[in-house]
């Protein structure tokens, strides 16, 4: 009878490069912000953002001269001034709130999962953070674009950028992507509860809830982008959950092309003519407050509505890193990590 032979463990070569493996990672991603509310920073940010062919679907040989000779010599000054109105001591609102979301999710997930955050444009790139997570031993990563409604100009460009980063890696992590969650019951319930909490703190009763989603050129809908339909469904589900009248609108258009309608600014100006003078506005297409919600809606939108004859206007914040918002994000993330944790 042959006895059991016990062999010593095989040791790694003395010059073997240290390798960390076996960790799970979650990378929260949002759009991004300039590094400071000044013209040079905004110009750098806009050049990168507006050079993405997913964002501006015009042939680059036509678009780049317009961008560099016209837009980048005019728009940064106005945009920088608008950023200065909402800039926080810790940085841009979007950066601050996205970082807070990542920190809150890390606390909730515990040491078994590494949570990080990145921006599609500007500082803290997706590729940089994926590489850092790999070095920390994350060989399975959930890429989580924080865009409830899918658009090629948001979700798709995040995946594009992650793919470019993976192409440069010899050892790639396994990657999953958080799907859009525009009609997810947990998302609708979280936004609805946030709206209820906001309404309870008001000293007036709104006659209408206006939802303001980021606009997209009409041609994106005609080309097959589901964004418009998903925004509409989010608005309908919120109306059902709240039992209150909800109107869907679209903001942030520029240029001469037709964009998704109805436009938020036109709606706000027209509501008093309909006899609606008390409203609350929410932005359920944004996971965190940013320039477009805090300056364009909460400030400019308020002025437009009141000047048109409105009497009461309230902007209700995005979910940001609120408890109800983080409950939702944690639920979505844990569901997508099934089988990994």
Rounded CA-CA distance 140/263 in Å is 41
Where is pLDDT greater, at 240 or 10?
A: 240
* pTM score of the predicted model: 0.93
Mean pLDDT of 213-220: 97
Tokens representing 286? 């944004």
Question: What pLDDT does residue 16 have?
Answer: 60
Q: At residue 1, does pLDDT exceed 60? A: no
Cite the DSSP H helix spans in 28-142: 39-50, 60-66, 72-86, 93-109, 126-135
Where is pLDDT greater, at 69 or 14?
A: 69
**DSSP state letter for 91:** B
Q: How far is CA 117 from each of CA 20, 28, 41, 94, 104, rounded to the nearest angstrom?
A: 20, 5, 21, 12, 12
User: How confident is the model over 265-288, as pLDDT tens digits?
Assistant: 999 999 999 999 999 999 999 999
Q: At residue 17, does pLDDT exceed 70? A: no
Where is pLDDT greater, at 3 or 339?
A: 339
Give the side-chain half-sphere CA count within 13 A for 289: 24
Whether 304 and 212 have beta carbons less than 8 Å apart is answered as: no
Question: What pLDDT does residue 21 have?
Answer: 81
Mean pLDDT of 250-260: 91
Q: Which domains does the chain have, with CATH numbers?
A: 23-181+325-336 (3.40.50.1400), 185-315 (3.40.50.1400)
User: How confident is the model over 105-128, as pLDDT tens digits?
Assistant: 999 999 999 999 999 999 999 999
Residue 203 — pLDDT band, cuts 50, 70, 90?
very high
Residue 222 — pLDDT band, cuts 50, 70, 90?
very high
Task: Pick left, alpha or beta for residue 209 (phi over 0 → left; psi -120 to 50 → alpha; otherwise beta).
Answer: beta
Question: What pLDDT does residue 6 have?
Answer: 72
Spatial CA neighbour of 101 closest among 27, 165, 173: 27
27 by Cβ neighbours in 10 Å (0-12 / 13-18 / 19+) ranks as buried
Kindly report the average pLDDT of the chain as a whole number.
95
Q: How far is CA 284 from each of CA 2, 5, 153, 234, 297, rounded to the nearest angstrom?
A: 71, 65, 17, 8, 13
User: How confident is the model over 159-198, as pLDDT tens digits?
Assistant: 999 999 999 999 999 999 999 999 999 999 999 999 999 9
Question: What pLDDT does residue 13 have?
Answer: 72
Mean pLDDT of 38-45: 98
Question: What pLDDT does residue 254 have?
Answer: 83
User: How confident is the model over 46-60, as pLDDT tens digits?
Assistant: 999 999 999 999 999
Of all residues in the chain, the percent with pLDDT exceeding 70 is 95
Q: How far is CA 158 from each of CA 30, 56, 165, 278, 312, rounded to the nearest angstrom?
A: 9, 15, 11, 38, 38
């Amino acid at each position: 009878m042959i006895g059991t032979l016990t062999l010593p463990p095989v040791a790694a070569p003395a010059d073997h490069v240290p390798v960390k493996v076996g960790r799970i990672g979650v990378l929260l991603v949002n759009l991004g912000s300039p590094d400071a509310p000044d013209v040079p920073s905004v110009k750098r940010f806009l050049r990168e953002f507006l050079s993405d062919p997913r964002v501006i679907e015009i042939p680059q040989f036509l678009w780049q001269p317009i961008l560099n000779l016209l837009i980048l010599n005019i728009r940064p000054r106005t945009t920088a001034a608008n950023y200065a109105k909402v800039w926080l001591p810790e940085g841009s609102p979007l950066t601050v709130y996205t970082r807070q979301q990542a920190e809150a999710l890390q606390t909730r997930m515990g040491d078994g999962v590494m949570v990080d955050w990145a921006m599609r444009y500007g500082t803290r790139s997706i590729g940089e953070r994926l590489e850092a997570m790999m070095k920390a031993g994350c060989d399975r990563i959930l890429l989580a674009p924080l865009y409830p409604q899918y658009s090629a100009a948001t979700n798709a460009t995040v995946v594009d950028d992650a793919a470019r980063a993976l192409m440069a890696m010899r050892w790639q992590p396994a990657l999953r992507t958080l799907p859009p969650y525009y009609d997810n019951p947990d998302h609708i319930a979280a936004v609805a509860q946030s709206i209820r909490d906001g309404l309870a703190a008001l000293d007036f009763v709104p006659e209408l809830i206006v939802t303001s989603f980021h606009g997209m050129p009409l041609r994106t809908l005609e080309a097959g982008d589901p964004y418009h339909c998903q925004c509409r469904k989010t608005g309908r589900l919120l109306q059902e959950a709240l039992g209150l009248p909800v109107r869907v609108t679209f903001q942030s258009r520029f240029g001469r092309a037709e964009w998704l309608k109805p436009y938020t600014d036109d709606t706000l100006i027209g509501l008093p003519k309909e006899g609606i003078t008390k409203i609350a506005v929410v932005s359920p297409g944004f996971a965190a407050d940013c320039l477009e919600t805090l300056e364009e809606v909460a400030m400019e939108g308020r002025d437009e509505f009141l000047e048109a004859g409105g009497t009461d206007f309230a902007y209700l914040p995005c979910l940001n890193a609120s408890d109800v918002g983080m409950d939702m994000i944690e639920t979505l993330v844990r569901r997508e990590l099934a089988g990994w944790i």
